[in-house]
Amino acid sequence: MEPRATADPLLVLERAEKSFGPVRALVDGSIELFPGEAHALLGENGAGKSTLVKILAGVHRADAGELRVGGVPLVFNGASDARDAGVSIIYQEPTLFPDLTVAENIYMGRQPTVAGRRIDRRAMNAAAREVFARLGVVLDPARPARGLSVADQQIVEIAKALSLNARVLVMDEPTAALTGVEVQRLFSVMETLRADGAAVMFISHRLEEVYASCQRVTIMRDGRFVRTAPIEEVSVDEIIRSMVGRDLDALFPKSETAPGEVVLDVDGIGEDGVFSDISFQVRRGEIVALAGLVGAGRSEVARAVFGIDPRSRGRVTVLGRELPGHRPRAAMAAGVALVPEDRRQQGLVMDMPIDQNMALASLDRLATGGLLRRSSERSLAVEWARRLQLKFGRLGNAASTLSGGNQQKVVLGKWLSRDPQLLIIDEPTRGIDVGTKAEVHRIIDSLVADGMAVLMISSELPEVLGMADRVLVLHEGRITAELSRAEATEDSIMRAASGLTSGAAA
Amino acid sequence: MTTSTSAPRSAASSRTPLKQRVGGVLRARETGIAVLIVVVFVAATAKNEAFASANSVQQLLLGASLIALLAVGQTMVIVTRNVDLSVGSVVGITAYVVGMSFRDNPDMPVFLGFLIGIGLGAVFGAITGMVVTVFRVPSLVVTLAGLYLIRGLDGLLVDGVIINPQSIPREFQRIGYETVLGIPVLFLLVLAVVVIAAYVMRSFRSARDLYAIGSNPAAAELAGIPSEKRVFTAFLVSGALAGLTGALFVALYAQVDVTAGRGYEFLVVAAVVVGGVAIFGGSGTVVGAALAALLLNTIDQALVASRVSGFWTDAIAGALLLGAIAFDRSLSLRIARRLRSQEGAHRDV
């Protein structure tokens, strides 16, 4: 179906701005959605897509700009305002009531009633069944929502949107957690919605899905609108160039090192439904990056190597010693350290003093006769605070008092003080300001220059390109490309990460 | 479109039996408890046939009634992911106030006794609900504080003066011992409350909201459910029912001292959990909770009739509680695992 350019747009967002403190998440968020179109919104992580979605959802209020729905200027002050205006959001992982039935989830608070305001279950289930029939899916309205697959949960959300007469459906990376069959089903549901004259805004990192399901595409970069075009008028190359198109700068110091002996040897590890057939090596003096989209299985691979998550197949060897699965302590004893993705939840005990956090991974070495002396914790922390140039008030202050970058340094210090042979670092600079970012990069670079092996996971392509000696690209739990430093470009990584392996296998 | 109907084939084919199994087990909870009650009853009668005498059965039903009544209110609270530990103390103080009112006003009509009990209980419930929702203090802490605070007030009020049967009008006491067709009136009263509550919890939007709040608080907020108002109401009702229980305590025992209602809160929570109400909210029925109250009391009495040491009663109640929790937990783990491997197989296709 052609987007009817002659028709009036259902929803227009013009020059929306949004800042969080000093961070400008959205500088120019603009999009026009017409009835009957599926419209892709594309951009790298951090391009401002999520912020734009949250403005449409009524979760965030734009600082500036205009929003018109059906030609009427509106301001959404909450999720219910957006809903009343006919805008529904389908999140990647919907939030349902697991204990209630599918039909109750759809009609919560709006259950059909009979005399005396009693809920009419039969009518409610029938209405739900009718909505599912319109969508062309089979789902039992009377079953509990607990145990529904993510795909079915999304269908429930879409059914809810439909029963609310939503005209605009925003789907935020709905396919990230779906299987091939489920994606096809979602596309046919989108088709139905479009045929009814609704507008669907679709966010996906998988370009082949965009080509398969959308008529127009809007590209964003660094919080700004770049362009909108009919899908048939833009090539994959053009889209990728519009999405990334920026220069790498001196943010990434990189010393030349010659890789030495193999430190980490991963041989064919796999875990059902998470990743499969993962093999690679990391040598002394080398940074190997795991790249890929959110949900591709990067962190899961790292966690399985370290032994936090189980793996059912394959072998992991560190310096010739095979690691048992699911035993982080064995990995630590073999000289492996893991700096997790989420430092607030997994890396630090936020309410604990800085020095105790730093010593936390070394308690076995610091203790004498099972007892811990405060002073030994303190001296370890003093040493690493100096080496990492930590900026802090007092070492006795809670870790939560530090800035994000300095928190990351504490996590680094905690693991580096164990003198690891292999450092696994997940999103080393997420949410850190540019200055500290460069410092963290310098620290990693100097460690590698001293012969450490580093396995790095990063969603930021510039960081991958700037730091890594080799790049392994994951797509849906499999390695789709192994690129040398010379081969790795934003283009080749994005292709492999989107599953377009033909261009990246070289 | 035709492809889409066949699309979830692998999921649908393996999911339907799973779903039936889950639904079956949930329904089986009430049935299972009922069966257990019968088993315990038969076993106890085999050991001591006096256990099946009309008088003994009446005592059995009466003994379970007060806890079953409290379990109704407690279920409403726990379903919202809260807990009300103050109910035992509320029973104690309302019982004393009701008894005191009759002592000081011998001509007071019977219905006023109930009104005083329910009203006073509702006041305590409202205060608890207010602190929980307005000041966002965890209900465990608030009601634990309430437990001791109200018990302290009760002690000050009683001050060593026991209410005795002479102070309670015959009219009021009759509710405690009168029977209809051999069934105690008090038990029928509680049964009526359980039936009404079960119906309300199933069929009214505001009651379904309680389940939604406990099932996923964030989603409840997004769905526009007035969570605070609903949680407040749950505490209000729980308090009012505790007040009613206090009044019935007076009718049943006609004697009130400072120990009245002591320890009830834990009997009630135990009954609710054994009855299949998830302690983290979202699921469970008042019928299951009330039946479990009857089960716990039947076991208690059966052990007494079999001349087993009273300590066994507590130990068995504890074991039953652990069993119920372990059962729920292993069930949900098993479902999660099956779904995960199922999805894994799915993805590798």
Show the domains of chain B with their CATH numbers: 25-343 (1.10.3470)
Q: Return the bridge partners of A229, or none.
A: A217
Q: Which residues from chain A sit within 8 angstroms of residue B19, using beta carbons?
A: 140, 143-144, 147
- Please give the sequence-ordered ranges of beta strands (E in DSSP) within B278-330, or none if there are none: none
Cα separation, A330 vs A324, in Å, equals 7
CA distances for B296 relative to A35, A127, B91, B302, angstroms: 62, 42, 19, 10
Q: What percentage of chain B exceeds 90 in pLDDT?
A: 53
Q: Which of A455, A398, A390, A399 is nearest to A428 (CA)?
A: A455
Helix (H) or strand (E) holding B289: helix B286-305
Asked if B186 and B251 touch (Cβ cutoff 8 Å), the reply is: yes
pLDDT above 50: residue A300:
yes
B317-B56-B89 Cα angle (round to 5): 50
The minimum CA-CA distance between A107 and chain B, rounded to whole Å, is 9
Test mutation, B18, B202, B205, B221, chain A, max A CBs within 10 A = B205
What does the alpha-carbon distance between residue B49 and residue B43 come to, in Å, rounded to a whole number? 10
In terms of Cβ atoms closer than 10 Å to its own Cβ (0-12, 13-18, 19+), residue A107 is: buried
Taking contacts as CB-CB distances below 8 angstroms, the residues of chain B near A184 are 3-4, 7
Domain boundaries defined on chain A? 11-96+148-244, 262-504
Report pLDDT for B94. 97
Question: Residue B228: what pLDDT?
Answer: 92
Nearest residue, CB atoms, A111 vs list B19, B205, B349? B205
With beta carbons less than 8 A apart as the criterion, state whether A117 and A109 touch. no
SS (H, E, C) A214-240: CCEEEEEECCEEEEEEEHHHCCHHHHH
CATH architecture of the domain A11-96+148-244 equals 3-Layer(aba) Sandwich (3.40)
The alpha-helical segments, DSSP class H, found in A11-78 are 49-57
Residue A363 phi, psi (nearest 5): -60, -35
Given a cut of 60, whether residue B1 has pLDDT beyond it is no
Q: Do domains A11-96+148-244 and A262-504 have the same CATH topology?
A: yes
Taking only the tens place, the pLDDT of each residue in A369-384 is: 888 888 888 999 999 9
Residues 6+ apart with CB under 8 A from B347: A179, A272, A273, A476, A477
Question: B112: distance to nearest CA of chain A, Å?
Answer: 29
d(CA B263, CA B252): 18
Q: What is the 3-state secondary structure (H, E, C) of A422-435?
A: EEEEECCCCCCCHH
Partner residue opposite B283 with nearest CB, options A99, A113, A273? A99
Strand ranges in A355-476 using DSSP code E only, listed in sequence order:
422-426, 453-457, 470-475
Of A268-277, A491-500, B113-122, highest mean pLDDT: B113-122
Structure confidence at residue A151 (pLDDT): 84
Flag if B4 and A140 touch (Cβ within 8 Å): no
The CATH code belonging to domain A262-504 is 3.40.50.300
d(CA A73, CA B27) in angstroms, rounded, equals 51
Q: Is A254 or A443 the better-scoring residue by pLDDT?
A: A443
As a whole number of angstroms, the distance between CA B342 and CA A494 comes to 30
Secondary structure class of B75 (helix, strand, coil):
helix
In DSSP notation, B23-52 reads HHHHHHHHHHHHHHHHHHHHHHHHH-GGGG
What is the value of ipTM here, to two decimals?
0.79
Q: Using an 8 Å CB-CB cutoff, list chain A residues near B349.
A: 179-181
Strand partners, A425: A339, A456
Q: Mind listing the pLDDT tens digit for each residue in A317-344?
A: 999 999 998 899 999 999 999 998 888 8
Residue A339: per-residue pLDDT = 92
pLDDT 10s digits, A159-171: 998 888 889 999 9
For residue A21, what pLDDT is reported?
73
Give the tens place of pLDDT for each residue, B210-220. 999 999 998 88
A193 CB neighbours in chain B (<8 A) are: none
Q: Who among B215, B223, B346 is closest to A99 (CB)?
A: B215
Other beta carbons within 10 angstroms of residue A279's beta carbon come to: 14
